[in-house]
Amino acid sequence: MLGEIIMKEQLLKMREDVISSVAACDSMRELEDIRIQYLGKKGAITAVLKQMGTLSAEERPVMGQYANQIRSEIEDALTQAGETLGAKESEARIEAEWLDVTLPGKKKPIGRKHPLTIVTDEIKEIFLGMGFSVAEGPEIETDYYNFEALNIPEGHPARDIQDTFYIDSKTALRSSTSPVQIRTMTKTKPPLRIIAPGRVYRSDAVDATHSPLFHQIEGLVVDKGVTMADLKGTLEIFAKRLWGENSKVRFRPHYFPFTEPSAEMDIMCFSCEGKGCRLCKNEGFIEVLGAGMVHPDVLSRCGVDPDIYSGFAFGVGLERITMRKYGISDIRYFYENDLRFLRQF
Ligand code: PHE
């Protein structure tokens, strides 16, 4: 009798404890702790039920039923609290992870090609289309490739015209891309058709049209029966592809130690169409490249028999034609990396 009363009281107290701790609980995790504490295998209810043995045979089923009722009331309280807490927690999570999909995105800036690269690529395309391939050579050259092999021996006035940056008496920064002609002919048998774009160096004072570092694109064709007519035809096609079908060129006799005969090619001024204006300094034409038939001495020095083969070569100043193309007034813009300039291309 007494045991029954005590057990009932314990169970009632338990229900009350559960209700108040559930009310104070504010996370699913705490709630789970409460469930284990009361309903778990080693929990409070089990502990009370263990005392069933002290009850009489009549009391036992009554108490069993009562205990089950309390258990299910506790379960209900926990389930209900679980639902409320679960909803609250997921709401909090949604709030914390809230994201405004209508906000404008952050754009990743996309780089672009330097104007000199754009024009180099264009020129490469034109010559690749005519069966040329692209060759390269070192920027630090020996005296032999930079001068000697190009018919510019020591004491030759052309050495002074190209104010060369020397590293030591036999090594220099190349003063043109022409040494690539020598390298190519020396290591590859004709027929040859190459262009060689790259940096060149001359110790010129910096001004609007001069820079100690600039770029050239060399061209070289060597085969049987190559003539001055091939030179003119090839370079005329080049000019029309680069500047448009209506562009006009002219060739003037010139002198280079490594070509004979030599010429310079001018393009008719776009602005005045040959009449003469400020842009072309009243010339009507603008010089764009140097060219000529490869000198027989240069051929034989490279192991090419000038009685069997002939060739032509040309050298284009990249900065000058890029400045023409885009109307750039000062060569220094190319090297200053000012984004206001670079973003225009
Ligand atoms: N190397 C010459 C220069 O720098 C250009 C050139 C190249 C001329 C090839 C003739 C043939 O001015």
pLDDT of residue 162: 63
Distance 178 CA to ligand 1 centre (A): 6
**Atom 9, ligand 1: residue with shortest CA distance:** 314
Minimum-distance ligand 1 atom for the alpha carbon of 181: 9
Beta partners for residue 263, in sequence order: 253, 291
Q: What is the distance between the alpha carbons of residues 246 and 239, in angstroms, rounded to a whole number?
A: 10
Distance 330 CA to ligand 1 centre (A): 23
**Atom 12, ligand 1: residue with shortest CA distance:** 290
Is the pLDDT assigned to residue 238 strictly greater than 80?
A: yes
150-164 tens-digit pLDDT: 999 988 887 776 689
Going from the C-alpha of 137 to that of each of 220, 221, 250, the distances in angstroms are 14, 17, 30
Minimum-distance ligand 1 atom for the alpha carbon of 220: 9
φ/ψ of 139, rounded to 5, equals -85, -25
Going from the C-alpha of 217 to that of each of 38, 167, 187, 308, the distances in angstroms are 88, 23, 20, 27
Going from the C-alpha of 229 to that of each of 225, 226, 236, 311, 312, the distances in angstroms are 11, 8, 10, 11, 10
319-342 tens-digit pLDDT: 999 998 898 989 999 999 999 999
56-95 tens-digit pLDDT: 888 888 888 888 888 888 888 889 988 988 898 899 999 9
Is the pLDDT assigned to residue 11 strictly greater than 90?
A: no
Q: Which has the closest alpha carbon to 324: 292, 287, 274, 293? A: 287
Q: Which has the closest alpha carbon to 335: 216, 162, 211, 163? A: 211
Ligand 1 mutation pick, 151, 164, 180, 216, max ligand atoms within 8 A of CB: 216
164-198 tens-digit pLDDT: 999 998 999 999 999 999 999 999 999 999 999 99
Residue partners of 332: CB distance under 8 A and separation at least 6: 206, 208, 211
Beta carbons within 10 angstroms of residue 176's beta carbon: 23
The stretch 31-52 carries a mean pLDDT of 86
Distance 315 CA to ligand 1 centre (A): 4
Q: What is the distance between the alpha carbons of residues 327 and 190, in angstroms, rounded to a whole number?
A: 39
Beta partners for residue 139, in sequence order: none
Minimum-distance ligand 1 atom for the alpha carbon of 150: 1
Distance 64 CA to ligand 1 centre (A): 110
> Which amino acid type is present at position 17?
D
Q: What is the distance between the alpha carbons of residues 49 and 298, in angstroms, rounded to a whole number?
A: 112
**Atom 6, ligand 1: residue with shortest CA distance:** 315
Minimum-distance ligand 1 atom for the alpha carbon of 291: 10
81-95, 209-223, 269-283, 314-328: lowest mean pLDDT where? Answer: 269-283
Please give, one letter per residue, the 3-state secondary structure of the chain.
CHHHHHHHHHHHHHHHHHHHHHHHCCCHHHHHHHHHHHHCCCCHHHHHHHHHHHCCCCHHHHHHHHHHHHHHHHHHHHHHHHHHHHHHHHHHHHHHCCCCCCCCCCCCCCCCCCHHHHHHHHHHHHHHCCCCEECCCCCEEEHHHHCHHHCCCCCCCHHHHCCCCEEECCEEECCCCCHHHHHHHHHCCCCEEEEEEEEEECCCCCECCECCEEEEEEEEEEECCCCHHHHHHHHHHHHHHHHCCCCCEEEEEEEECCEEEEEEEEEECCCCCCCCCCCCCCCCEEEEEEEEEECHHHHHHCCCCCCCCEEEEEEEEHHHHHHHHHCCCCHHHHHCCCHHHHCCC
Distance 227 CA to ligand 1 centre (A): 18
Minimum-distance ligand 1 atom for the alpha carbon of 216: 4
Residue partners of 50: CB distance under 8 A and separation at least 6: none
Minimum-distance ligand 1 atom for the alpha carbon of 312: 11
Distance 327 CA to ligand 1 centre (A): 24
What is the pLDDT confidence band of residue 231, given thresholds at 50, 70 and 90?
Answer: very high
Distance 295 CA to ligand 1 centre (A): 12
**pTM of model > 0.85:** no
Distance 118 CA to ligand 1 centre (A): 22
Q: What is the distance between the alpha carbons of residues 78 and 35, in angstroms, rounded to a whole number?
A: 7
Distance 316 CA to ligand 1 centre (A): 8
Minimum-distance ligand 1 atom for the alpha carbon of 315: 7
Q: Which residues line ligand 1 (CB under 6 A)?
A: 176, 178, 218, 256, 259, 290-292, 313-315
Ligand 1 mutation pick, 163, 192, 199, 256, max ligand atoms within 8 A of CB: 256
**Atom 10, ligand 1: residue with shortest CA distance:** 291
Minimum-distance ligand 1 atom for the alpha carbon of 294: 11
What is the pLDDT confidence band of residue 252, given thresholds at 50, 70 and 90?
Answer: very high
Q: What is the distance between the alpha carbons of residues 133 and 31, in angstroms, rounded to a whole number?
A: 77
C-alpha 15, offset from chain centre: 70
Q: What is the distance between the alpha carbons of residues 21 and 36, in angstroms, rounded to a whole number?
A: 13
Going from the C-alpha of 90 to that of each of 28, 79, 87, 191, the distances in angstroms are 11, 16, 5, 77
